[in-house]
Amino acid sequence: DPRPLAVARQPEAEGRVGKYMWIGFALVEAIALYGLVIAFIIMGLRK
């Protein structure tokens, strides 16, 4: 988790760092879920 390192260097940036961290996590999760859905669709079309 890179957030403690960034906050240790600049404690006043904790709010921004945390916000962007959660946005990044959400984007990664969304991409993974879209990939899973597409994989299931492709598997379903092959039968």
Q: Helix (H) and strand (E) counts for the chain?
A: 2, 0
Q: State the pLDDT at residue 15.
A: 85
In the prediction, which pLDDT does 1 show? 63
The closest of 26, 3, 28 to 16, measured between CA atoms, is: 3
pLDDT tens digit at each of 47 positions of the chain: 666 777 777 888 788 888 988 999 999 999 999 999 999 999 998 86
User: What is this structure's pTM?
Assistant: 0.65
> Are 32 and 38 spatial neighbours (Cβ–Cβ below 8 Å)?
no
Report d(CA 20, CA 32) in Å as an integer. 18
Task: Say how far apart CA 38 and CA 22 lie, in whole Å.
Answer: 24
Instruction: Look at residue 2 in the predicted model and tell me its pLDDT.
Output: 63
